[in-house]
């Protein structure tokens, strides 16, 4: 029924023969969080995704875990408090994936907010965090900012408020939820299509038709509750009136030498429309983003689907380059400086607000006309809370449908994620400092497992790229332990080669394909298909260049 790793063969067999309490459609942050929470409560859980886990929105974010300082201007105190509460929980359960970082928010004469208003906002922000770490802030005079950000625009500069929030690896955050859900008994499978039944089908909430995208085989999955956790694609699954306002967020990736941030995140305003955007450190790279525009897609008027091409467009890139040069005029960033781009859709709940930026970020949970529990909206930081509420709701639905087993309470508030334990000593004098920092920040308590692979083979200890800290052993680890099924899974979401390497990994894609082929027993044709798919993904992310 399958072509690929053993874990997936086993999962597909279970999906076809067992009956589940819950089937979750969508393996992004929300779906992964729901599967983990439900499995921990003792429910029989299945999760399927059309592509890789975190293959869409949940790997295309600004990589931040934060309350959202800007939401204070809209009076969304409850949303900010919820985000800051969840930030604190993640710092405990996954310290490697919720890393404190200083944010610098400059203020300019004649522009809003003023330095005083910023100070009041940051004070309120820290108060909503209950003053718990990493709640800290300071005011920096304009004359002192040069040492922090030497390329920052100085004309009219008042100073800056410096506060602390957190960065993450969004795709890995999702993956660790998937792995923990599986460890707790959930059956998970990527690259499985789920066809929604007609709304008048008598089995509409008990049976879903599935198709293994690797082999083409079809089978039914039996479940007492089906959860639609497909994020921006929820309307396409539900088939009812549109509930979402999907918006596109685009990011650019530059060399840190071209746009240095000193290891700090910088909060800035676009000169075109006043929107906030970030310049974010990412080791030897700087990420600039994001945009926030309504999604029209290739078929205006139709909800987005997972197969749609969601990528940067020329005007998105121009917007961000203009904004970056306004904030850092001495940098003189141009299109040729862009190493890569990435883009994703936000699953915002539809509202009458005039602009996407003003559209609320709260989430909603409802029972659609097919009897599916649908979860949409929200933001990455609050994924765990969304999942907890969704599982509470689906348990109510289960009870209404005759479910009478005892269910445990929610356990995700303080349960560590798989890499959440402190990493053991990485005792090797030959390990470069940037590699050590990368392994600990990425894998946490699992870092030694990656290093053990590297220690067992001289070739696996080699860097994938001489300028980056990523090891060839990580490709093997992705295949054996982190559920990578394709070259794109390994080089885009397990290891950020697609984002960080100057040729986006085109020169090493065949080598990665050969490693996966050896791990999975692929034929030559199967290996080439996976490599070709990766090259197509790179081409799509670069298409904006030819469209200018």
Q: What is the pLDDT of residue 1?
A: 41
Give the span between the Cα atoms of 107 and 185, in whole angstroms: 51
Query: Which residues are registered as beta bridge partners of 364?
Result: 376
Give the span between the Cα atoms of 472 and 457, in whole angstroms: 10
Q: Which residues contact 162 (CB under 8 A, 6 or more apart)?
A: 102, 103, 104, 105, 137, 138, 139, 140, 264
474-527 residue pLDDT tens: 999 999 999 999 999 999 999 999 999 999 999 999 999 999 999 999 999 999
Residue 151, CA distances (Å) to 161, 257, 325, 333, 509 in order: 17, 11, 10, 12, 36
Residue 358, CA distances (Å) to 56, 275, 353, 467 in order: 23, 10, 6, 40
Give the span between the Cα atoms of 78 and 60, in whole angstroms: 25
Does the residue 406 lie in any domain? no
What is the number of H-type helices and E-type strands within the chain? 16, 18
Does the residue 422 lie in any domain? no
Q: Which of the listed residues 315, 349, 383 is the one where a domain comes to its end? A: 349
Give the span between the Cα atoms of 110 and 135, in whole angstroms: 28
Does the residue 304 lie in any domain? yes
Q: What is the pLDDT of residue 383?
A: 98
Residues 177 and 53 in one domain: yes
Is 493 strand, coil or helix?
Answer: helix
Q: Which residues contact 355 (CB under 8 A, 6 or more apart)?
A: none
Is 246 strand, coil or helix?
Answer: strand
Q: Note if the pTM is more than 0.85.
A: yes
Q: What is the pLDDT of residue 245?
A: 93
Does the residue 264 lie in any domain? yes
Residue whose token pair is 């799509």: 540
The answer to whether the CB of 162 falls within 8 A of the CB of 265 is: no
Domain limits at 489?
A: 433-547
Residues 155 and 297 in one domain: yes
Look at the alpha carbons of 468, 471, 472, 477 in this order and tell me if their dihedral is positive or negative.
negative
Helix (H), strand (E), coil (C) string for 5-38: CHHHHHHHHHHHHCEEEEEEECCCHHHHHHHHHH
Residue 385, CA distances (Å) to 34, 299, 395, 411 in order: 10, 33, 16, 12
Residues 286 and 206 in one domain: no
Q: What is the pLDDT of residue 2?
A: 43
CATH number at 461 reads 1.10.8.870
CA dihedral 18, 23, 28, 29 (to 10 degrees): -110
Residue 59, CA distances (Å) to 29, 216, 224, 500 in order: 9, 26, 30, 14
Does the residue 407 lie in any domain? no
Q: What is the pLDDT of residue 428?
A: 59
The secondary structure of 59-89 as a DSSP string is GSS--EE---GGGGGGT-HHHHHHHHHHHHH
Residues 257 and 330 in one domain: yes
Give the span between the Cα atoms of 520 and 517, in whole angstroms: 5
Give the span between the Cα atoms of 190 and 49, in whole angstroms: 5
Specify the pairing of strand 373-377 against strand 218-228: parallel
CATH number at 95 reads 3.30.9.10
Does the residue 1 lie in any domain? no
The secondary structure of 160-189 as a DSSP string is EEEEEEEE--HHHHHHHHHHHHHHTT-EEE
The tally of domains found in the chain comes to: 3
Rg (CA), the chain: 23
The answer to whether the CB of 88 falls within 8 A of the CB of 129 is: yes
Residues 80 and 142 in one domain: yes
Residues 43 and 132 in one domain: no
State the CB neighbour count (10 A cutoff) for residue 326.
14
527-536 residue pLDDT tens: 999 999 999 9
Give the span between the Cα atoms of 408 and 406, in whole angstroms: 7
Residues 252 and 336 in one domain: yes
Query: Which stretches in the chain have pLDDT values below 50?
Result: 1-2
Does the residue 427 lie in any domain? no
CATH number at 194 reads 3.50.50.60
Residues 393 and 301 in one domain: no
Residues 325 and 458 in one domain: no
Q: Would you mind telling me the total number of residues written for the chain in this entry?
A: 548
Residues 154 and 251 in one domain: yes
Residues 51 and 83 in one domain: no
Give the span between the Cα atoms of 460 and 475, in whole angstroms: 9
Residue 354: exposed, middle, or buried by beta-carbon count in 10 A (0-12, 13-18, 19+)? Answer: exposed
Does the residue 424 lie in any domain? no
Residue 274: exposed, middle, or buried by beta-carbon count in 10 A (0-12, 13-18, 19+)? Answer: exposed
- With b for 16 or more beta-carbon neighbours within 10 A and e for fewer, the 107-143 pattern comes to bbeeeebebeebbebbeebbebbeeeebbebebbebe
Give me 474's structure tokens.
């990580």
Residue 27: exposed, middle, or buried by beta-carbon count in 10 A (0-12, 13-18, 19+)? Answer: buried
Residues 163 and 83 in one domain: yes
Is 116 strand, coil or helix?
Answer: helix
State the CB neighbour count (10 A cutoff) for residue 76.
18
Q: Select from 211, 209, 187, 220 the least CA-distant residue to 1.
A: 211
């Amino acid at each position: 029924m399958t072509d690929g790793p053993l874990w997936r063969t086993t999962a597909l067999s279970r999906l076809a023969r067992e009956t589940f309490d819950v089937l979750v459609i969508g393996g992004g942050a929300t779906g992964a969080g729901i599967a983990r929470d439900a499995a921990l409560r003792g429910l029989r859980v299945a999760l399927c995704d059309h592509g890789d886990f975190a293959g869409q929105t949940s790997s295309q974010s600004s990589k931040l875990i934060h309350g959202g300082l800007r939401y204070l201007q809209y009076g969304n105190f409850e949303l900010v408090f919820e985000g800051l509460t969840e930030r604190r929980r993640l710092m405990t359960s996954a310290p490697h994936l919720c890393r404190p970082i200083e944010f610098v928010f400059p203020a300019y004469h004649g522009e809003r907010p003023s330095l005083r208003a910023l100070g009041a906002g940051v004070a309120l922000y820290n108060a909503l965090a209950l003053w718990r770490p990493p709640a800290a802030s300071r005011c920096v005079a304009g004359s002192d900012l040069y040492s922090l950000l030497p390329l920052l625009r100085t004309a009219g500069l008042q100073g800056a408020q410096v506060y602390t929030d957190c960065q993450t690896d969004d795709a890995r955050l999702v993956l660790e939820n998937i792995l923990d859900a599986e460890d707790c008994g959930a059956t998970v499978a990527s690259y499985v299509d789920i066809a929604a039944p007609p709304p008048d089908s008598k089995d509409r909430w008990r049976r879903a038709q599935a198709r293994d995208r690797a082999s083409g085989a079809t089978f039914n999955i039996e479940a007492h509750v089906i959860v639609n956790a497909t994020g921006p694609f929820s309307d396409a699954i539900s088939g009812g009136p549109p509930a979402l306002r999907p918006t596109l967020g685009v990011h650019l990736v530059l060399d840190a030498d071209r746009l240095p941030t000193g290891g700090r995140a910088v909060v800035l305003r676009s000169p075109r429309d006043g929107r906030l955007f970030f310049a974010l450190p990412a080791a030897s790279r700087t990420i600039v983003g994001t945009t926030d525009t309504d999604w029209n897609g290739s078929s205006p008027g139709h909800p987005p689907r997972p197969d749609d091409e969601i990528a940067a467009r020329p005007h998105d890139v121009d917007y961000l380059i203009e904004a970056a040069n306004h904030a850092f005029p001495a940098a003189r960033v141009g299109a040729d400086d862009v190493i890569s781009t990435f883009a994703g859709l936000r699953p915002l709940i539809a509202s009458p607000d005039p602009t996407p930026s003003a559209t609320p970020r709260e989430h909603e949970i409802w029972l659609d006309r097919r009897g599916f529990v649908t979860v949409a909206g929200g933001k990455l930081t609050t994924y765990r809370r969304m999942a907890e509420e969704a599982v509470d709701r689906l348990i109510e639905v289960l009870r209404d449908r005759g479910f009478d087993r005892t269910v445990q309470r929610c356990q995700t508030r303080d349960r560590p994620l798989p890499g959440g334990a402190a990493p053991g000593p990485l005792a090797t004098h030959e390990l470069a400092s940037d590699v050590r920092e990368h392994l600990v920040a990425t894998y946490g308590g699992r870092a030694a497992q990656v290093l053990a692979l590297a220690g067992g083979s001289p070739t696996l200890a080699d860097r994938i790229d001489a300028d980056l800290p990523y090891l060839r052993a990580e490709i093997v680890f992705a295949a054996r332990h982190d559920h990578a099924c394709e070259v794109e899974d390994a080089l885009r979401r397990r290891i950020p080669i697609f984002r960080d390497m100057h040729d986006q990994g085109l020169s090493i894609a065949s080598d990665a394909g050969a490693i996966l082929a050896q791990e999975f027993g692929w034929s030559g044709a199967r290996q080439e298909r996976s490599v070709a798919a990766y090259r197509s993904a790179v081409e799509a992310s670069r298409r904006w260049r030819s469209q200018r």
